Amino acid sequence: MTFALPLEPLTRLADPLADRTVSAIIGPWNDPAGPGPGPQGMERLAQATRLMAQWGDNASLADWQPAGPAPDPSVLQALRSYLHEGSVLPAWTDARKVARAETIFMEEGPLSCTLLFCASLPECYVPPRLAEVLHIAGQLEAHTEHRIRQTAAMVFPVMLKGGLTDGAGCGIAQVLKVRLIHATIRHLILHGDPEGVRGAVAPSRRAAAGASAHAALTDALLTHGWDVARHGLPCNQFELAYTLLTFHFVFLRGMRTLGLRLKKDDEEALLHTWNVAGHVLGVRDELMPFSYDEAAGQFGQMQAFGRAQPGDADARPGLGRALVRTLAQTIRLPVIRDIPVPLTQRLIGRQSAGDIGIGAAAPLLTRGVFAVGWVVIRAVDGIARLFMPNFSLSRLFGRVIGYHVLDRFLLDQTRPLVLPEQVLNPMRVAIASWHDDPRAPVWQNRLEDRWTTRGPWGSHPGAGDARQRKGPDRGD
């Protein structure tokens, strides 16, 4: 299916609501010492960042009252106006489809995480200009785990029960935080409101304000430089819409690749739900596909367009290799520990794998084991489903990989996620419930336990000791 809208103009469209908000917070850019809005503007931005961390459940956004010392009135007013306008769901929201998508996420939870990290994130790195922005904004080669954790911190609140449609959910609040982060990146790279920048912003040198990671990130954004005439705006509508496709379409495509294709209505429910989240994120409604075929056509055209738009430097190989290296480190089991690498290659395809520098990133033995295993699993699944429709070794191994990714990035109590308890508690409860696949036979769940852990995954109030380990790698 052909995507009708021209793509080049989308690179010069950003997000008026979020950009107005950041402009109101920072104020004029008039620092004579170098690129930046001056100490007062940066302090207001830091204050806004601290206040955003207080946004918990959706219901609190309507009459949000900040805790702690009284903030700058201009910052408070800008954030309240943003919440008032940005937290409204689109009129076309279908609560039944959203509820169905939430159920699918719970049914496919560990597998959803595997596809998110082994397919969706790598596909984000394929367009060179998007990869360059991600590189600048996140220094991802050195902080890949942080990127993975940040992504999960938005996906879970959106997809858990009531995340977008219930006042007790947290999806709208988390998405609105990400939306303002995108606008902040634009403002710092362009040294001002994107509406007023049309030419080139020259690279510059500026000493970081401190040794913190936040100061280093701010310094990297302020000093990088950007040519709007050549590259469009950072975090533009094309990049936002493409990224949205990686959350819903790439997941659905991955399910099909694994032989776990969902029903048409279920695919459309997932597309619809992420489109609702995309609306809150600032993606224009006309850029959203509502069927798999429409999404496939749009993704193919957008990826081809993005691939043909080179950035100033190709950040893709560094990002791709850092990602698969980090994923490979999540599994402690011998031989299969590098399986996420060939799995990623299979899920995103040879061309995309080459684009991001992971065409031959796994050891030869691992590639051989994966190739043989892929053929055997697909053959066994095809035969077994003639007699047991829900049987799937693909799901088993996808769940195992998903567990290890979750264990490394979300369940590790030595590096807890810095999120509101309204977000963390439902996430912990959901992950704990994924320890058993109700569609699998008993022997398959026991085999999964040997490769993961006994009992509920993670720990939460009332779950007891949910982190028992097996084997020498687990510290028994």
Looking at the domain assignment, is residue 247 inside a domain? Answer: yes
Q: Provide the pLDDT confidence category of residue 466 given band limits of 50, 70 and 90.
A: very low
Q: Tell me, what's the pLDDT at 83? A: 97
Q: Provide the pLDDT confidence category of residue 203 given band limits of 50, 70 and 90.
A: confident
The answer to whether residues 251 and 343 belong to one domain is no
The answer to whether residues 206 and 295 belong to one domain is yes
d(CA 140, CA 152): 15
* Comparison of pLDDT for 177 and 218, the residue scoring more: 177
Q: Tell me, what's the pLDDT at 153? A: 84
Checking if the pLDDT of 317 tops 70, the result is: yes
Tokens, residue 330: 């999540």
d(CA 467, CA 456): 8
Looking at the domain assignment, is residue 103 inside a domain? Answer: yes
pTM: 0.91
The answer to whether residues 35 and 147 belong to one domain is yes
Looking at the domain assignment, is residue 431 inside a domain? Answer: yes
The answer to whether residues 385 and 439 belong to one domain is yes
Looking at the domain assignment, is residue 117 inside a domain? Answer: no
Dihedral of the CA atoms 186, 138, 72, 191 (nearest 10)?
A: -30
Work out the percent of the chain whose per-residue pLDDT is above 70.
88
pLDDT digits (tens, 9 = 90+) for 370-428: 899 999 999 999 999 888 988 999 999 999 999 988 888 887 766 666 677 888 888 88
Q: Provide the pLDDT confidence category of residue 242 given band limits of 50, 70 and 90.
A: very high
Nearby residues of 252 by Cβ (< 8 Å), 6 or more positions away: 262, 267, 270, 271, 292, 295
pLDDT digits (tens, 9 = 90+) for 260-303: 999 999 999 999 999 999 999 999 999 999 999 999 999 999 99
Looking at the domain assignment, is residue 113 inside a domain? Answer: no
d(CA 66, CA 72): 11
Q: Provide the pLDDT confidence category of residue 359 given band limits of 50, 70 and 90.
A: confident
Q: Tell me, what's the pLDDT at 422? A: 80
Q: Provide the pLDDT confidence category of residue 474 given band limits of 50, 70 and 90.
A: very low
Q: Tell me, what's the pLDDT at 223? A: 82
The answer to whether residues 182 and 288 belong to one domain is yes
* Comparison of pLDDT for 175 and 425, the residue scoring more: 175
Query: Is 110 in contact with 61 (CB distance < 8 Å)?
Result: no
The answer to whether residues 195 and 343 belong to one domain is no
Report which secondary-structure segment, H or E, holds 201: strand 200-201
* Comparison of pLDDT for 379 and 31, the residue scoring more: 379
The least confident of 245-259, 325-339, 350-364 is: 325-339
Work out the percent of the chain whose per-residue pLDDT is above 90.
56
Region 469-476: what's the mean pLDDT?
33
Region 332-358: what's the mean pLDDT?
86
Checking if the pLDDT of 171 tops 60, the result is: yes
Region 154-176: what's the mean pLDDT?
95
Looking at the domain assignment, is residue 157 inside a domain? Answer: yes
The answer to whether residues 299 and 349 belong to one domain is no
The answer to whether residues 164 and 218 belong to one domain is yes
Domain total in the chain: 2
**Domain boundary pick from 262, 291, 307:** 307
Region 298-310: what's the mean pLDDT?
93
Region 158-169: what's the mean pLDDT?
95
The answer to whether residues 293 and 416 belong to one domain is no
**Domain boundary pick from 257, 285, 307:** 307
Looking at the domain assignment, is residue 44 inside a domain? Answer: yes
The pair phi, psi for residue 226, each rounded to 5°, is -165, 140
Tell which residue, 210, 60, 23, has the closest CA to residue 51: 60
Region 155-160: what's the mean pLDDT?
94
* Comparison of pLDDT for 459 and 263, the residue scoring more: 263
Q: Tell me, what's the pLDDT at 287? A: 96
Checking if the pLDDT of 213 tops 60, the result is: no
Tokens, residue 254: 């991955």
Q: Tell me, what's the pLDDT at 464? A: 34
Q: Tell me, what's the pLDDT at 139? A: 53
CA-based end-to-end distance of the chain: 54
Q: Provide the pLDDT confidence category of residue 138 given band limits of 50, 70 and 90.
A: low
Tell me what the pLDDT averaged over the chain comes to: 86
Give residue 376's domain range: 337-474
Most confident of 29-33, 189-193, 292-296, 414-418: 292-296
Checking if the pLDDT of 333 tops 80, the result is: no
Nearby residues of 20 by Cβ (< 8 Å), 6 or more positions away: none
**Domain boundary pick from 307, 329, 348:** 307
- Other C-beta atoms within 10 Å of 192: how many? 18
Region 465-472: what's the mean pLDDT?
36
The answer to whether residues 360 and 298 belong to one domain is no
Looking at the domain assignment, is residue 35 inside a domain? Answer: yes
The answer to whether residues 160 and 243 belong to one domain is yes
pLDDT digits (tens, 9 = 90+) for 65-124: 898 888 899 999 999 999 999 999 999 999 999 999 999 999 999 999 999 999 999 999
- Other C-beta atoms within 10 Å of 337: how many? 18
Radius of gyration (C-alpha) of the chain in whole angstroms: 22
The answer to whether residues 458 and 341 belong to one domain is yes
Q: Tell me, what's the pLDDT at 436? A: 92
